[in-house]
């Protein structure tokens, strides 16, 4: 039996201690702890990394603090359009959805695409139809109505800019959530879920549902979930790049993460970060932005929760 480990993120961006209240910080930390525990409890019972990743992400999607599921930001049209993807490192099976609305847990819909369709990636109305067919949980618009998100949209519309997440002060923050895990059977899994960008144009797809860019898992190498300015992550094929640096160049997970997040992405202006677990259970949580909501837990070690750089 291998030792299990799990890591999660709740988005990266300009997250400064000076802008945070003690109360707000506490609620983020509690939310991260809850999500880690949801995944950990699966792994501790010798459950599968795929189930742990889904459980952790559902916890984050159900929390209005994060830009995914319930807390999704508003598009230019005042709608919530969500993307998600999930991948199993054991058999390289994967599922993804883009532009879905009124779905309570997009990560579970992505998993259903993987397990119950012949496809990997379903988008828009077609993905909605698939969701109906498999009896996914639909939920009315008002579930997704979070006042500060709506205020953000009005503000973004005024200035005709896109806000990359839910912060009201125009700082960049990428509110994607994600989880990666290794179970006692040695299987890796990764998943990512997002509500996109405030005031984004209808139809924009970021890296979150793109296998290879936002999410990747292979038992031979690692499991990766990204958060950041998606366009740069797509062009750099970030998640698979780390896997290739390990597989083809023999780099450690840490070295591969350093090169991709702290050098390659920085050079093209790609702000963000990612969470990673390799086949040996090593965890890396690199980001090149001011902060990243993140947490990790291994079988034997204490829970780690981080928000800022230091």
Active site residues per annotation: 176
CB of 71 to a second copy, least distance (A): 21
Distance from C-alpha of 239 to C-alpha of 223, rounded to nearest angstrom: 8
- Sign of the alpha-carbon dihedral angle for 263, 265, 266, 268: positive
Does 50 interact with a second copy (rule: CB under 8 A)?
no
Distance from C-alpha of 276 to C-alpha of 179, rounded to nearest angstrom: 9
CB of 99 to a second copy, least distance (A): 6
The single residue among 69, 99, 175, 178 that binds a second copy, judged by CB under 8 A, is: 99
In the complex with a second copy, the residue whose CB is nearer, 53 or 122, is 122
Distance from C-alpha of 256 to C-alpha of 250, rounded to nearest angstrom: 9
In the complex with a second copy, the residue whose CB is nearer, 130 or 287, is 130
The single residue among 16, 20, 123, 262 that binds a second copy, judged by CB under 8 A, is: 123
Distance from C-alpha of 260 to C-alpha of 196, rounded to nearest angstrom: 22
The single residue among 82, 86, 103, 205 that binds a second copy, judged by CB under 8 A, is: 205
SS3 of residue 153 by DSSP: helix
Interface with a second copy (CB under 8 A), residue total 45
The single residue among 33, 124, 184, 306 that binds a second copy, judged by CB under 8 A, is: 124
Site for a second copy in 218-247 (CB under 8 A): 230-231, 234-237, 240-241, 244-245
Asked if residue 19 lies in contact with residue 280, where contact means CB atoms within 8 angstroms, the answer is: no
The single residue among 17, 26, 126, 301 that binds a second copy, judged by CB under 8 A, is: 126
Stretch that binds a second copy, among 38-46, 55-63, 136-144, 210-218 (CB under 8 A): 210-218
Does 203 interact with a second copy (rule: CB under 8 A)?
yes
Long-range contacts of 245-251 (CB under 8 A, 24+ apart): 246/221, 246/222, 246/278, 247/218, 247/220, 247/221
Asked if residue 27 lies in contact with residue 9, where contact means CB atoms within 8 angstroms, the answer is: no
Asked if residue 28 lies in contact with residue 303, where contact means CB atoms within 8 angstroms, the answer is: no
In the complex with a second copy, the residue whose CB is nearer, 64 or 272, is 272
In the complex with a second copy, the residue whose CB is nearer, 238 or 307, is 238
Does 130 interact with a second copy (rule: CB under 8 A)?
yes
Stretch that binds a second copy, among 31-39, 64-72, 171-179, 209-217 (CB under 8 A): 209-217
Distance from C-alpha of 52 to C-alpha of 39, rounded to nearest angstrom: 4
Residue with tokens 């997009």: 106
51, with CB counted inside 10 A (0-12, 13-18, 19+), is middle
User: Binding residues for a second copy, per CB under 8 A?
Assistant: 87, 92-94, 98-99, 117-130, 162, 201-206, 210-213, 216, 230-231, 234-237, 240-241, 244-245, 248-249, 268
């Amino acid at each position: 039996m291998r030792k299990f480990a799990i890591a999660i993120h709740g988005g990266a961006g300009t997250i400064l201690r000076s802008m945070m209240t003690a109360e707000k910080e506490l609620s983020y930390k509690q939310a991260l702890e809850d999500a880690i525990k949801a995944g950990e409890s699966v792994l501790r019972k010798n459950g599968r990394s795929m189930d742990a990743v889904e459980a952790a992400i559902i916890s984050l999607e159900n929390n209005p603090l994060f830009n995914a599921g319930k807390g999704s930001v508003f598009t230019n049209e005042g709608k919530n359009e969500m993307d998600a993807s999930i991948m199993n490192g054991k058999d390289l099976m994967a599922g993804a959805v883009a532009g879905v609305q009124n779905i309570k847990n997009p990560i579970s819909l992505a998993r259903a695409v993987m397990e119950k369709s012949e496809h990997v990636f379903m988008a828009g109305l077609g993905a909605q139809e698939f969701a109906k067919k498999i009896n996914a949980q639909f939920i009315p618009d008002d579930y997704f109505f979070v006042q500060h998100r709506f205020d953000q949209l009005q503000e973004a519309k005024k200035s005709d800019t896109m806000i990359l997440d839910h912060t009201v002060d125009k700082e960049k923050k990428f509110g994607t959530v994600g989880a990666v895990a290794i179970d006692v059977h040695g299987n890796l899994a990764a998943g990512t879920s997002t509500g996109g960008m405030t005031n984004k144009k209808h139809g924009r797809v970021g890296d979150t549902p793109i296998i290879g860019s936002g999410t990747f898992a292979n038992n031979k190498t690692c499991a990766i979930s990204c958060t950041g300015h998606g366009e740069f992550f797509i062009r750099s094929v970030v998640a698979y790049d780390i896997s290739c640096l390990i597989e083809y160049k023999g780099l450690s997970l840490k070295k591969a993460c350093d090169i991709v997040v702290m050098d390659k992405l920085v050079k093209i202006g790609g702000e963000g970060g990612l969470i990673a677990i390799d086949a040996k259970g090593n965890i890396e949580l690199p980001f090149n932005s001011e902060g990243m909501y993140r947490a990790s837990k291994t079988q034997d070690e204490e829970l780690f929760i981080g928000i800022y750089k230091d």
